[in-house]
Structure 1
Amino acid sequence: MLLFFILGLLVHLVFFASIFDIYFTSPLVHGMTPQFTPLPPPARRLVLFVADGLRADALYKLDEDGSSRAPFLRNIIMHEGSWGVSHTHVPTESRPGHVALIAGFYEDVSAVAKGWKENPVEFDSLFNESKYTWSWGSPDILPMFAKGASGDHVYTHSYGAEREDFGAHDATKLDTWVFDNVKDFFHAARNNQSLFSKINEEKIVFFLHLLGIDTNGHAHRPYSREYKDNIKKVDDGVKEIVSIFKSFYGNDGKTSFILTSDHGMTDWEWKLENWKRLDVNQADIAPLMASLIGVPFPLNSVGILPVDYLNNTDLFKAESMLTNAVQILEQFKVKMTQKKEVTLSFLFTPFKLLSDSKQLNILRKARSYIKQRKYDEVVSLCKELINLALKGLSYYHTYDRFFLGINVVTGFVGWTSYVSLLIIKSHSNLTRCVSKEVKKPSWFLLCSFIVTGVLVAFFLLIQACPWTYYIYSLLPVPIWYAVLREFQVIQDLVASLLTFPLRHFVGCLLVFTLGIEVLVLSFFYRYMLTAGLIAFAGWPFFTRLWTRAKVTSLGWTLFSLLLAVFPLMPVVGRKPDITLVMGAGFLILLLSLFVITSLLRKDNFLKEELVVYLLQMLSTVLSMLVVNSTHDSLLRKQGLPLLNQTVSWAVLASSLVVPLLSPTAVFQRLLSILLSLMPTYLLLSTGYEALFPLVLSCLMFVWIHMEQETLQQTGVACRQKLTSIKFSYNTDITQFRQLYLDDVRRAFFFVFFLVTAFFGTGNIASINSFDLASVYCFLTVFSPFMMGALMMWKILIPFVLVMCAFEAVQLTTQLSSKSLFLIVLVISDIMALHFFFLVKDYGSWLDIGTSISHYVIVMSMTIFLVFLNGLAQLLTTKELRLCGKPKSHLI
């Protein structure tokens, strides 16, 4: 069985990794010829302001009194410049946003996992094509463009990472630092002949990265006064920088200014209807900037030049558009050549909408239109060519997607079939009528699969496929061999099902299918969890449980309905409510007092157990004080107190140790786990979600009792008190029983509760749902991986509670954890297969990103179940001693 779990883990890791080869591969190609417009550019220099985290509505919308938060920029919109909304792609994070702005392409999502400060792949950018680039701002953004630039012409000036503090007194200092350093730079240039000559060259770029707005948005929310005041500060700073440039360069009219944001978009209007709005995609800004200063378009750019932003001749617009088309067409040609070289000629299918003849025809016609001065027709024709080239790029980029998808699905179905057969063969009585004679698999079957594997490997070899393709293509071969060698089990299963009442079988199949679909839909619509929990609430009334255990049934109904409220609560944009966090803490203290009071009434209570509960009460009190104190400190803009930070980390460190000091009796150990994990969860909470683990745990306790009643109802075993059942690694295997149909329901309940634990208070399928305020009791200085780890632990705490309860269900129902876990594995794999088919590569980028993340989440959950199962066993069975001899707990 250990070997099976290791193999299962490896198989799921392969299935998990396949999504990165299918959907998360880098879109970049190399070997293109640089393309630039042959006419003189309108500007000698370009200044790029990126107001990190600036929302379009916050910039454009007027205040309550009708005044603008950015009067200088609004005046530019009305009288001098052009404006619009830049539409971002997912994920809406700083790194991919800046890559789209400066390099012109949408970086694959895997780049996020490879680090924010390094280049996962080398790419061309506007900075690389410039004569010189000077940049000021965050140490997380500037280095990645300097490292990728060829030569020594990109200069970075960044502040220390410790300045990115969400709890700082004034986050606008990040922007003030940038503005002050730019002013000092130009002041120094007047006395430095070398620098003076460089900044008077043409084709130069100045990049000002302004992080203050994003920092204040995370710390105080986008609707806060701090966020709005920061916009005013940026407006004043931009006004001052524009004045410096005009003064330094003698107002020569050769400076282009672009101000944009790396993420944030809305469709509202802001009383600017009388001024032409020119919306762009984020990647379109890179070719615009290149065209303004006359440098080659970034080689990997897929942006389409927004010609309406160019205040120049129609000839220049037409030539620039043609350059843009040729630059993207170059990528298409290289991509096609690369794919053609590694594909057998009789299997290669070219992109038919853009043949060589059509390319030449469009380019020839565009040149002819330029000579005839039909510039509008040139722009229109070039846009057509660009759209075809982009479709062709997507076609060749996803060329192997169908082939890889077929292999993954084949392996998936085979693995799920094999696990199902293993359950039936080893843990059920459906095949007890099987003949005692065990038939060995035929040599013909083995040889057939060996030959199949060799042929598949040879096919991949002659096409020079990556090594990962071998894994995806060859993995189904041994899996399906393992399935077909169990032909006797399949035959006996079919025979058993034929004797099963058809109406009963169809009914069970429909209920199971409906349950799976509800789970799948809950990833898209959280209220489906509410519907499922309401259905759960009525479960006792449709069975005989209501007549046997009225109090337990009422408790089940009550807590199911209470838990059903949480998926209906808002996810993104909710305001912090420390009162609810404090309320959850008081409920935990009341629960602890109740337990201690009950303990003291016993004549034989153990002092060690009393000490454990007192430690947990102390942790809860400290957590409540830290949450309240940190919230007040941040409101006063005094940052995170060191004492609060120290206490928070101490509570987190102790949360996994203190439960091990409690008795291993089911009730006591589960209660101790809850009381130990709740203080950490309080520290990571900002509102109503603090109540979620408490309600969830109450339902879990009732679930354990309900399963005992259900088991007794079937006459499998006599009911035992939870206080008399102990968790133990060395459980006697002889007490385990065979699987029954009702065990499928238990496994489904478990998966449903896991999904509820995941989506109950939020939806991390979208990275926008992350609330950095959750980690402010631990740290406020920006650290993406540490903050991500803390938020991940917050997500895992409800998982751990459900998993520990599941351990208790398995123990109290005398069912092998391996058998029930296998059913859970099958359910999870069926869900994962659903999401694999639901992955989209069309529609909005948000739809595409969400569909991919759903598959990744389910696959991660399946893999994490193995580790969570180990963690739950450790928390429930391991016992530490405070001192002296091993404890013996008398009931």
Structure 2
Amino acid sequence: MLLFFTLGLLIHFVFFASIFDIYFTSPLVHGMTPQFTPLPPPARRLVLFVADGLRADTLYELDENGTSRAPFIRNIIMHEGSWGVSHTRVPTESRPGHVALIAGFYEDVSAVAKGWKENPVEFDSLFNESKYTWSWGSPDILPMFAKGASGDHVYTYSYDAKREDFGAQDATKLDTWVFDNVKDFFHHARNNQSLFSKISEEKIVFFLHLLGIDTNGHAHRPSSRDYKDNIKKVDDGVKEIVSMFNHFYGNDGKTTFIFTSDHGMTDWGSHGAGHPSETLTPLVTWGAGINYPQRVSAQQFDDSFLKEWRLENWKRLDVNQADIAPLMTSLIGVPFPLNSVGILPVDYLNNTDLFKAESMFTNAVQILEQFKVKMTQKKEVTLPFLFTPFKFQVIQDLVTSLLTYPLSHFVGYLLVFTLGIEVLVLSFFYRHMLTAGLTAFAVWPFLTRLWTRAKVTSLSWAFFSVLLAVFPLMPVVGRKPDISLVMGAGLLVLLLSLCVVTSLMKRKDSFRKEELLVHLLQVLSTVLSMYVVYSTQSSLLRKQGLPLMNQIISWATLASSLVVPLLSSLAVFQRLFSILLSLMSTYLLLSTGYEAVFPLVLSCLMFVWINIEQETLQQSGVCCKQKLTSIQFSYNTDITQFRQLYLDDIRRAFFLVFFLVTAFFGTGNIASINSFDLASVYCFLTVFSPFMMGALMMWKILIPFVLVMCAFEAVQLTTQLSSKSLFLIVLVISDIMALHFFFLVKDYGSWLDIGTSISHYVIVMSMTIFLVFLNGLAQLLTTKKLRLCGKPKSHFM
């Protein structure tokens, strides 16, 4: 049995790793010949402004008084340059956005392994091809373009990362720092002959990365006064820098200015997915080689933005974000970035037809060079008779059709089971399918003999199933924060704790005082969590940052949440309730709204599930019913107590999978990064730290999983069921789902479509592997016992 289980686990590891080998390796190739336009370029220098996190609509629209938030930029649109919308791709994050802007390709998913801060592979960029590049801004963005540059010609000037504090009083200082340092740089250049000669060269780039708008958006949301005022500050700063450049270079007309953004931001202050508020960013260009404004009577766009922005009479020129890189290289006459896939937007160019034609031809040859190198590499590692381009789709279609035919036979025999699997599959795309499944669960006891045997348990099951079914119908976490709901969830936990403490005080056994002390510690932890959530929000609203004491309490609560339950009794009910109290304290600290109630409702349903499974097993005559207060967790369970599998155990395994999926998607969708709000971690830290913030968010996601698995440990114990047998059934269910998602994997379309299809397959394939480790954590929490005094009882794994 152990050998079979190990072999199955190994096979799933291989299947899991195969997806990463296929999809999570860099598609970039090297060895291409640089391509550049032989004609003289219109500009000697280029200035790139990137306002991080700036939405197109917030920049272009007029405020409530009918005036522009960025009057200088709007004046450029109407009188000096060309404008449009730059369409970004998912993930709408800072690194991928800047890579698309400056290197001309969309960052491959392999970069996520290094947090999008270091280069997983070296790539060419506009900065590398330039004669010199000077850049100012965030230490998270600038180094990656300097690290991959050949020679020593890309210079970076960054502030301390600690400045990127979402709880800071004034995030506009991040942009002010950039503007001030650029002005100081040019002032210094007047007295430094070596530097002066460098900035007087041609084919040079100046890059200003402005992070204040993004930081204010995360902290206060794009609808806030802080976010909108920051746009005005950036507009004023850009105006000063443009004036300084024109004065420094004697208005020689050889400077090109480009103003854009790496990504937008949702109304709730996050980014990462494909909502238009995240993917529509501004692009305004002017100066040498750029077309002047073009007045038009009508424009054909599907959206209604032009009228809202009152720019319907100025020609709007939309581009894909990667198209900006070839535009910039064409303007200053450097080779196109070798890995660029951008298409030159010639409508932005103010030059001869010959120059445009030569630039388009160079662009096409540069992209063709990548294809030739990629094809050569593919031939070298592929057997000759297998190298048949564009014909593999036929084989895939044949297998799919046959499978649709190795499935038509199963539908007839396992209609109900298949329907349940389909509900699980559809829930990955439509969260409300979980509502349909939970509603069906609520009806289940009334269709069996459970209703006649246990009316109270059946009604409780139906009530909590329907209550849990409400959550998938609600907006994803983070869109409508409401701290009052977090406080309400805390009060419910305290009310339940009071009931447990009252019952403990009535007991007279020798462990009563110890148990009472443990629960009082957990009640205190819940109260402190509620206080920290409320005071932290108040402090951030006053722009006073995260109080140090709140931070200490939060981390202490998190650290103790996995230890305190081990001090409680091994009785099933008391241990599970202790685990709930400890994990809820941490979950409250990580909550911003209604999701704080979710683990509580889920746990209530889990308690009822344990009772109802006892009833179903008793009615079949398999075992006698025991009180949950008399059953204790023990790792050294007598194997002779285990029974054989019954047909109803398939239903139990399906319930486990369904509850795990509900825990996964009940309050959001992990396939969409922007389901999570950075405000969730503000009780722990506000200084930007992607890995730490990501780890805290992942623990928030895991808490409902742990609650479900701990409850399932009790189900296995009370129904005398071997966990190994159950895992075999869960393995079959997850593999059927994985097979379904395998044929839904896409290698075409948008990155959002491709990434979503891959993530679904990986999630389901890793479910079995994930359950093994989660089961180990659940066993640790339920079977290990520590004592406040004396020797610990031996229940180690």
TM-score normalised by L of structure 1 = 0.81
With over 3 angstroms needed to count, the CA separation of the structure-2 counterparts of 1:577 and 1:583, relative to structure 1, is same
1:305 and 1:622 map into 2 onto residues whose CA distance is: 58
1:282 and 1:149 map into 2 onto residues whose CA distance is: 21
Q: CA deviation at 1:644?
A: 0.6
1:40 and 1:494 map into 2 onto residues whose CA distance is: 55
- Mapped contact 2:222–2:267 kept (Cα < 8 A): no
Q: For structure 2, list consecutive stretches of 5 or more residues without a partner in the other structure.
A: 269-308
Q: CA deviation at 1:307?
A: 0.5
- Mapped contact 1:50–1:209 kept (Cα < 8 A): yes
Q: CA deviation at 1:341?
A: 2.7
What's the CA shift string for 1:559-591, capped at 9, x where partnerless?
A: 011101111111166132110000001111111
1:826 and 1:97 map into 2 onto residues whose CA distance is: 41
2:444 and 2:762 map into 1 onto residues whose CA distance is: 32
With over 3 angstroms needed to count, the CA separation of the structure-2 counterparts of 1:158 and 1:587, relative to structure 1, is same
Q: For structure 1, list consecutive stretches of 5 or more residues without a partner in the other structure.
A: 350-485
The structure that has the greater radius of gyration is 1
1:219 and 1:492 map into 2 onto residues whose CA distance is: 48
- Mapped contact 1:92–1:768 kept (Cα < 8 A): no
Q: Percent of counterpart pairs with the same letter?
A: 90
Q: CA deviation at 1:74?
A: 1.2
Q: Secondary structure at the match of 2:134?
A: strand
Alignment of 1:688-699 (within 5 A): 688-699=594-605
Q: CA deviation at 1:195?
A: 0.5
Q: CA deviation at 1:886?
A: 6.1
What's the CA shift string for 1:191-226, capped at 9, x where partnerless?
A: 111111100100000011111111111111122221
Q: CA deviation at 1:628?
A: 0.5
What's the CA shift string for 1:13-60, capped at 9, x where partnerless?
A: 221221122222212111111111111111110011111111112111
2:154 and 2:257 map into 1 onto residues whose CA distance is: 19
- Mapped contact 2:442–2:461 kept (Cα < 8 A): yes
1:491 and 1:77 map into 2 onto residues whose CA distance is: 50
- Mapped contact 1:136–1:157 kept (Cα < 8 A): yes
CA RMSD of aligned residues (A): 4.8
Q: Which moved more, 1:82-91 or 1:594-603?
A: 594-603
- Mapped contact 1:682–1:690 kept (Cα < 8 A): yes
- Mapped contact 1:751–1:824 kept (Cα < 8 A): yes
Q: CA deviation at 1:890?
A: 22
1:643 and 1:285 map into 2 onto residues whose CA distance is: 47
With over 3 angstroms needed to count, the CA separation of the structure-2 counterparts of 1:488 and 1:42, relative to structure 1, is closer
Partner of 2:13: 13
- Mapped contact 2:174–2:212 kept (Cα < 8 A): yes
With over 3 angstroms needed to count, the CA separation of the structure-2 counterparts of 1:30 and 1:886, relative to structure 1, is closer
Q: CA deviation at 1:291?
A: 0.3
With over 3 angstroms needed to count, the CA separation of the structure-2 counterparts of 1:603 and 1:151, relative to structure 1, is closer
1:23 and 1:487 map into 2 onto residues whose CA distance is: 17
Alignment of 1:353-364 (within 5 A): none
- Mapped contact 1:606–1:889 kept (Cα < 8 A): no
What's the CA shift string for 1:260-303, capped at 9, x where partnerless?
A: 111128999x2211111111111111100100100000011000
Q: CA deviation at 1:498?
A: 23
Q: CA deviation at 1:506?
A: 7.2
Q: Which moved more, 1:259-268 or 1:13-22?
A: 259-268
With over 3 angstroms needed to count, the CA separation of the structure-2 counterparts of 1:887 and 1:23, relative to structure 1, is closer
Q: Secondary structure at the match of 2:341?
A: coil
- Mapped contact 2:47–2:256 kept (Cα < 8 A): yes
- Mapped contact 2:478–2:676 kept (Cα < 8 A): no
**Which is helix-richer, 1 or 2?**
1
Partner of 1:800: 706
Q: Secondary structure at the match of 1:84?
A: strand
1:213 and 1:292 map into 2 onto residues whose CA distance is: 28
- Mapped contact 1:85–1:265 kept (Cα < 8 A): no
Alignment of 1:139-288 (within 5 A): 139-264=139-264, 270-288=309-327
- Mapped contact 2:44–2:332 kept (Cα < 8 A): yes
Q: CA deviation at 1:783?
A: 0.7
Partner of 1:414: none
2:206 and 2:788 map into 1 onto residues whose CA distance is: 63
- Mapped contact 1:572–1:768 kept (Cα < 8 A): no
What's the CA shift string for 1:360-395, capped at 9, x where partnerless?
A: xxxxxxxxxxxxxxxxxxxxxxxxxxxxxxxxxxxx
Q: Does 1:329 align with 2:368?
A: yes
- Mapped contact 1:56–1:266 kept (Cα < 8 A): no
- Mapped contact 1:57–1:266 kept (Cα < 8 A): no
What's the CA shift string for 1:705-757, capped at 9, x where partnerless?
A: 11011001111011001111111111111111111110000000000000000
Q: Secondary structure at the match of 2:156?
A: strand
1:885 and 1:107 map into 2 onto residues whose CA distance is: 55
1:65 and 1:494 map into 2 onto residues whose CA distance is: 61
2:41 and 2:27 map into 1 onto residues whose CA distance is: 30
- Mapped contact 1:599–1:605 kept (Cα < 8 A): no
With over 3 angstroms needed to count, the CA separation of the structure-2 counterparts of 1:177 and 1:491, relative to structure 1, is closer
Q: Secondary structure at the match of 1:209?
A: strand
With over 3 angstroms needed to count, the CA separation of the structure-2 counterparts of 1:494 and 1:730, relative to structure 1, is farther
Q: CA deviation at 1:172?
A: 1.1
2:385 and 2:412 map into 1 onto residues whose CA distance is: 50
Q: Which moved more, 1:229-238 or 1:565-574?
A: 565-574
- Mapped contact 1:765–1:857 kept (Cα < 8 A): no
- Mapped contact 2:115–2:690 kept (Cα < 8 A): no
- Mapped contact 2:478–2:592 kept (Cα < 8 A): no
Q: CA deviation at 1:785?
A: 0.6
Q: CA deviation at 1:633?
A: 0.7
Q: Secondary structure at the match of 1:316?
A: helix
- Mapped contact 1:530–1:567 kept (Cα < 8 A): yes
With over 3 angstroms needed to count, the CA separation of the structure-2 counterparts of 1:636 and 1:488, relative to structure 1, is closer
What's the CA shift string for 1:531-571, capped at 9, x where partnerless?
A: 11111110111111111111111111110111011111111
- Mapped contact 2:223–2:267 kept (Cα < 8 A): no
Q: CA deviation at 1:336?
A: 1.6
What's the CA shift string for 1:303-355, capped at 9, x where partnerless?
A: 00000111111111111101101111111111122222333333322xxxxxx
1:497 and 1:346 map into 2 onto residues whose CA distance is: 25
Q: Secondary structure at the match of 2:83?
A: coil
With over 3 angstroms needed to count, the CA separation of the structure-2 counterparts of 1:347 and 1:261, relative to structure 1, is same
Q: CA deviation at 1:612?
A: 0.5
Q: CA deviation at 1:888?
A: 13
Q: Secondary structure at the match of 1:83?
A: strand
2:221 and 2:403 map into 1 onto residues whose CA distance is: 62
1:507 and 1:703 map into 2 onto residues whose CA distance is: 30
2:65 and 2:451 map into 1 onto residues whose CA distance is: 61
- Mapped contact 2:477–2:593 kept (Cα < 8 A): no
Alignment of 1:755-770 (within 5 A): 755-770=661-676
Q: Secondary structure at the match of 1:181?
A: helix
- Mapped contact 1:91–1:849 kept (Cα < 8 A): no
- Mapped contact 2:561–2:586 kept (Cα < 8 A): yes
2:757 and 2:399 map into 1 onto residues whose CA distance is: 36
Q: CA deviation at 1:490?
A: 29
1:499 and 1:130 map into 2 onto residues whose CA distance is: 54
Q: CA deviation at 1:493?
A: 29
Q: CA deviation at 1:87?
A: 1.2
Q: Secondary structure at the match of 2:313?
A: coil
Q: CA deviation at 1:764?
A: 1.4
- Mapped contact 1:664–1:876 kept (Cα < 8 A): yes
Q: CA deviation at 1:884?
A: 2.5
Q: Which moved more, 1:613-622 or 1:305-314?
A: 305-314
Q: CA deviation at 1:604?
A: 6.1
With over 3 angstroms needed to count, the CA separation of the structure-2 counterparts of 1:622 and 1:236, relative to structure 1, is same
- Mapped contact 2:221–2:267 kept (Cα < 8 A): no
Q: Which moved more, 1:496-505 or 1:664-673?
A: 496-505
- Mapped contact 2:86–2:318 kept (Cα < 8 A): yes
Partner of 1:127: 127
1:497 and 1:174 map into 2 onto residues whose CA distance is: 59
What's the CA shift string for 1:233-269, capped at 9, x where partnerless?
A: 111111111111111111111111111111128999x
Q: CA deviation at 1:634?
A: 0.6
- Mapped contact 2:738–2:764 kept (Cα < 8 A): yes
With over 3 angstroms needed to count, the CA separation of the structure-2 counterparts of 1:496 and 1:591, relative to structure 1, is farther
Q: Secondary structure at the match of 1:48?
A: strand
TM-score normalised by L of structure 2 = 0.90
With over 3 angstroms needed to count, the CA separation of the structure-2 counterparts of 1:684 and 1:492, relative to structure 1, is closer
